[in-house]
Chain A
Amino acid sequence: KAGVTQTPRYLIKTRGQQVTLSCSPISGHRSVSWYQQTPGQGLQFLFEYFSETQRNKGNFPGRFSGRQFSNSRSEMNVSTLELGDSALYLCASSLDGTAGNTIYFGEGSWLTVV
């Protein structure tokens, strides 16, 4: 069974640009959540999507957005990039997000903003 797939794996962007990251969950998983990992702040929750709807949201500015498609694939977008957005962005999928569902991470997208 294929795991969570994220693309691209590595990317470099310039301040002010925007970026779109893609995530394909494990087959049969309907919940997709996104996390940002930085050395200073650790792993921080961005948002969760289920059935094409944002179900939970973390404390990130509106520059961070996402969506989910009918096949459960998800994308996240960061607009007007700042240097502080340089991070590892992790997508995680779970069956349906009910209490106790475990989340499984993809390998992540390493974003560098210069």
Chain B
Amino acid sequence: QKEVEQNSGPLSVPEGAIASLNCTYSDRGSQSFFWYRQYSGKSPELIMFIYSNGDKEDGRFTAQLNKASQYVSLLIRDSQPSDSATYLCAVNLRSTGNQFYFGTGTSLTVIP
């Protein structure tokens, strides 16, 4: 079983719609949770992070964490064509130091 699992997609949504991306993780000791966006040929860039159960909002993005279900999600409201990218879910297993495990990513296409 992989440490972090994501639906690889592809996921297509029309411009202006809500895109919902999901992620599950296997290690209950995971400390912190991250979403990165990666455009083709580029390196991952941080969208947001979440540490506590519940929702965290940042502009058009909302991350949701449910530790009991070992589930993390990312909602993108008012999706734009520029949001078309691969979205990577990541967890840090360590309380000291960094050892991030990444999902394989969900490819999102926003159709104008």
Contacts and interface: CB of A to CB of B under 8 A. Distances in A.
Contact of B43 (A55, A56, A94, A108): A108
B51 A56 contact: no
A99 B95 contact: yes
Contacts of B95: 99
Nearest to B2: A42
Q: Give the interface SS of chain A, mostly helix, strand, loop or mixed.
A: strand
Contacts of A92: 98, 100
A31 to B, nearest CB: 6
B28 interface: no
Contacts of A94: 98
Contact of B98 (A44, A48, A107): A48
A101 B100 CA distance: 11
A65 to B, nearest CB: 17
A108 B41 CA distance: 10
Interface string A7-41: 00000000000000000000000010101000000
Interface string B89-112: 010101111111111110000000
A97 B96 contact: yes
Given A56-B94, A105-B44, 10 more contacts: A43-B44, A45-B99, A50-B97, A56-B97, A56-B99, A90-B43, A92-B100, A99-B31, A99-B94, A103-B98
Interface of A: 31, 33, 35, 42-45, 48, 50, 55-56, 58, 88, 90, 92, 94, 97-108
